[in-house]
Structure 1
Amino acid sequence: MRFISVTMTVMLLLVAACAQTNIQPMAQDTFKVSTMAAPACGPNGARNVAFKTAAIEVIRRGGDKFVLIGDAAQSDFWSGNHNQSMVVKLVPEGSAEARNALSARQQLGANWQEILAKGAPTTCD
């Protein structure tokens, strides 16, 4: 029974801080999101963290509409880590491209302000 308790504690700690994300400016209206996630996150967890971080960064830059113009994923066999990168272009409101762009606020959901205040996620849940 004690072994199960220790194992569960270790697993919770692994998931608690399983992702790290960096933002790299590429142009005035474009940036790259690079996320490295632990094995427990899996590739989908890494993608979700990168996407949520992209939406947060769009709002921080004063926008709401965006499109992904690049996307790449890689999993490291030996370490088990998952890497996800996305190139994000901000789209001006009222532009022709805005009709097809995603809304950062809608992607984050009704509590987008709370998510924005917390910043880039460090967990894959």
Structure 2
Amino acid sequence: MKQIFTIGCLVLLAGCASSSVMPVNKNTIIITTSTDSDCGQSGAQKVALKMAAIETIRRGYDEFAILDSRQHSDVRLIGHTPVYSNTTMNGTVVGNSVFGSANTTYYGGDPLYGGFFSQGLAVRLLPKGSGGVDARGTLGEDWEKIIKKDVNTCL
């Protein structure tokens, strides 16, 4: 059961992020990333940073510098899970009377949150040795595979 829950959560998070890239000039871009509420603001930041590294390499540069960063959150309470109860009774019959006790346990009613987090980055693309953030180092040793696709998950 725990495996099914874990797999279900991973499937839900599999497409939890999207990004767009807007060129400003030859070596400056603006990246806008939006993630589901499950990712948190740090998830949106991670996705935006990876997209900055991906776009840096795709556009023929090696390093990048973040010129500006903006965040927004639209996460809010959207409801609660259903409330359930379970009642157990213990009793003894003596003649026409019943003596005993009952215990009711309630569960559920947990909050449900929805919405999104967004992260915007203004990014300057730089040649190697400029003192910026190393794009390939940001993506790790699988950078060649990663740059072939956009980042669509905060995991």
TM-score relative to the length of structure 2 = 0.69
- RMSD over aligned CA atoms reads 1.9
Runs of 4+ in 1 over 4 A off after TM superposition: 4-10
1:106 counterpart = 2:137: yes
User: What one-letter code is carried by the residue in structure 2 that aligns with 1:42?
Assistant: G
Name the stretch that deviates more: 21-30 or 5-14: 5-14
User: What one-letter code is carried by the residue in structure 2 that aligns with 1:90?
Assistant: L
Structure number with the higher strand fraction is 2
Q: Equivalent residue of 1:57, what SS?
A: helix
Q: Which residue of 2 aligns with 1:11?
A: 9
Where does 1:43-58 land on structure 2 (aligned, <5 Å)?
Answer: 43-58=41-56
Unaligned runs of 5+ in 1: none
Q: Which residue of 1 aligns with 2:150?
A: 120
Q: 1:82 aligns with which of 110, 117, 125?
A: 117
User: What one-letter code is carried by the residue in structure 1 that aligns with 2:116?
Assistant: N
Q: Could you tell me whether the CA contact under 8 Å between 2:33 and 2:44 is conserved in 1?
A: yes
Q: Which residue of 1 aligns with 2:26?
A: 28
Q: How much does 1:65 deviate? A: 1.2
* CA distance, structure 1, for counterparts of residue 139 and residue 53 of structure 2: 7
User: What one-letter code is carried by the residue in structure 2 that aligns with 1:120?
Assistant: D
User: What one-letter code is carried by the residue in structure 2 that aligns with 1:26?
Assistant: V
User: What one-letter code is carried by the residue in structure 2 that aligns with 1:105?
Assistant: R
Structure number with the higher helix fraction is 1
Percent identity, aligned pairs only?
A: 36
Higher RCO structure, 1 or 2 (CA under 8 Å, sep 6+): 2
Distance 1:76 1:64, change over 3 A: same
Q: How much does 1:92 deviate? A: 2.7
What's the CA shift string for 1:89-122, capped at 9, x where partnerless?
Answer: 011335xxx0x211101111111111112x2210
* CA distance, structure 2, for counterparts of residue 54 and residue 105 of structure 1: 11
Q: Equivalent residue of 1:124, what SS?
A: coil
Unaligned runs of 5+ in 2: 77-113
Q: Which residue of 2 aligns with 1:92?
A: 127
